[in-house]
Every structure is written in C-alpha cells, then in structure tokens.
Amino acid sequence: MDSPTDPPRAGTLYVVATPIGHLQDITLRALEVLGAVDLIAAEDTRKTAQLLARHGIATPRASYHEHNEARRTPELLERLRRGASIALVSNAGTPGISDPGFRLTSAAAEAGIRIVPVPGPSAAAAALSASGLPTDAFVFLGFLSKKSGKRRDQIKALATEGRTVIIYESPRRIRALIAELQEALGDRRAVLAREMTKLHEEFLRGRLSALQAALTDRADIKGECTLLLAGAQAPSLPPREALAEEIRRALASEPRSLPELARELAQRHGLPKKAVYAAAMQIKTEKIPTTD
C-alpha cells in the first residue's frame, strides 16, 4: 500500500485543512500537496489565492462551493478518474466540517478513488482542546437548524446528553443560542471560543448565565464563535436508605429477580439501570434491616 506521505499521486483526492485564522497554522505537508497537485478545488478561489500567494504556490484553482457542488462534483470526479490529482480546500479549517466537501468525498469513495486526508486546524477541535471541559467524549453538532421547531428538538435532545457538545454559531445569533440553551437545559457550564488563533481571541468560561451576562454588556459581538456546552450530569441515586427501603418492600411484597426490580426502579426514578442494580445488589447482600 502507498504511504500517505508519498508525493501527490495521480487520481487522488487530497482533503487539505487550512488555517482558521492564524496564517501560520498550515502544515508543511499541506503546502507540499497544494504545490504539487494538478488542481485545487476551493470554496472561495480568491480567499485561497491569498493563502497560496503567501507561500508562492501557483497551482490552478477551480471553485467548489455549496452553490455549484452538485454540478462540479461529477466534473471533478471525471478528472480524478482520468488521473488528475486534486486538493480540496475550504475557506477555513477542515473541508467537509460544516463546509462543502462531503458530496465530493462520498462520490469519490463510491467510485473507488483514493482519498487522502491532510489534517490540520478545525475550529471544533481547537475550541474543545482549550475549553477545559471534558474532552474524552464529545458531540459535534455544527450549526443548529435555523427552523425553530427542528432547532428546539435538537436542543431538547441535549437534556440527557452526557458528552461535551460543540456548536457553531454566528456572532449575530450567539446571544439567542445561549438563551435557548439555558431555557431548555438549565444553567449548564459552557465555554464560548471566539476568534480563535486571531488577534482578538477570547475564551469565556462559566455558566450559561455568566456568558450571557458578559455578552449583554457588549454593544456588538463580532468574530467567529464556537460554543461548547458541558454534558448533562448523570442523575444521582435517591438517598441510600430510601432506595434500600423501596427495594426491601418490593422484594417482600412480590418475589422478583433483581434485574427485573432494578429495571422497574430505574424507570421510576429516571436512573441508569446498572447503577440501581449495583445498589440493589449491595443492599440485598447486606440485608439491611426493615424500619417497620
């Protein structure tokens, strides 16, 4: 198998990440690939031209954006089939992450064309990495729907989401988003990452109410915003004695298996079944005395 570090090869689609702000955030390999491919498919050819000019790269470009991707995809695919090497770039960060790219990568994958990632910045990973919120598991939602009903459902679904949530939002709507989240999910911890890697980079950390208060004082919110929301806390078990009493009564009134009982109690209290089962098992083996 070819090594992904080989020089650009014929008939290959390279998915190349570019800076999200700071122009030096581009990898050596990205520059090498961009300089060597036959064509760069760019979301905005003028914006990409600035980046390429800075690095003395004169590779031909074609536009590939949300308004022409349906038409352009078969054309690019045909060039790849005929042996061209193409680099796909978006305006910022990683193509396909809330940016055009998926249509082309899925068509290329279907056609058996080799696709090579050239990884680099993405606002989601940058924001998460510096947020101070748990990074072990996370959910990336991109931009929430602009349709109010669907948006409400997307937010409601986060009520039981235990992982850190990453959302992209425009500065114009960031205050409304924070208000919607607080209203539906309570005053969770959150982080607003604004203008990362740029001159006015800012991380606001605190409860949603504190973020809102900090933004309310501002006449205008500018720049690019990524919002991170702490996951929901796992619901805690009812006091041990209360649970013990409930388990004892249930077992005495109607002999049942422990898993069955745990399922019923977990449902009644909205608790994880595993945790209730473990508690019940412990209580049963300890033979906690009755209070009757």
Position 244 contacts ligand SAM (CB under 6 A): no
For ligand SAM, how many residues bind (rule: CB under 6 A)?
A: 24
Query: Residues 193, 244, 247, 261: which binds ligand SAM (CB under 6 A)?
Result: 193
The two tokens of residue 51 are: 């980046």
Query: Residues 80, 124, 247, 271: which binds ligand SAM (CB under 6 A)?
Result: 124
Give 4 or 119: the residue with its C-beta nearer to ligand SAM. 119
Task: Sketch the per residue contact string, 31 through 70, with ligand SAM: x for CB under 6 A, - otherwise.
Answer: ----------------------------------------
Taken as a whole, the chain contains a residue count of 292
The two tokens of residue 80 are: 């790849």
Rg (CA), the chain: 26
Query: Residues 180, 226, 261, 276: which binds ligand SAM (CB under 6 A)?
Result: 226
Supply the minimum distance, in Å, between the C-beta of residue 31 and ligand SAM.
18
Stretch that binds ligand SAM, among 145-153, 193-201, 236-244, 249-257 (CB under 6 A): 193-201
d(CA 190, CA 193): 10
User: Do 221 and 238 form a contact (C-beta atoms < 8 A)?
Assistant: no
Query: Residues 87, 118, 196, 261: which binds ligand SAM (CB under 6 A)?
Result: 196
Residue nearest to ligand SAM (CB): 93
Position 90 contacts ligand SAM (CB under 6 A): yes
Stretch that binds ligand SAM, among 221-229, 231-239, 260-268, 271-279 (CB under 6 A): 221-229
Give 99 or 246: the residue with its C-beta nearer to ligand SAM. 99
Q: Are strands 114-118 and 12-16 parallel, antiparallel or unpaired?
A: parallel
Give residues with Cβ within 8 angstroms of 285, minimum separation 6: none
Position 113 contacts ligand SAM (CB under 6 A): no
Longest CA pairwise span in the chain (Å): 86
Position 118 contacts ligand SAM (CB under 6 A): no
Count of Cβ atoms closer than 10 Å to residue 189 Cβ? 19
User: Do 122 and 17 form a contact (C-beta atoms < 8 A)?
Assistant: yes
User: Do 144 and 166 form a contact (C-beta atoms < 8 A)?
Assistant: no
d(CA 171, CA 175): 8
Position 93 contacts ligand SAM (CB under 6 A): yes
Q: ∠ CA(171), CA(176), CA(181), 5° rounding?
A: 115
The two tokens of residue 95 are: 């193509």
Binding region for ligand SAM (CB under 6 A): 20-21, 90, 92-94, 97-99, 122-124, 168-170, 193-198, 224-226
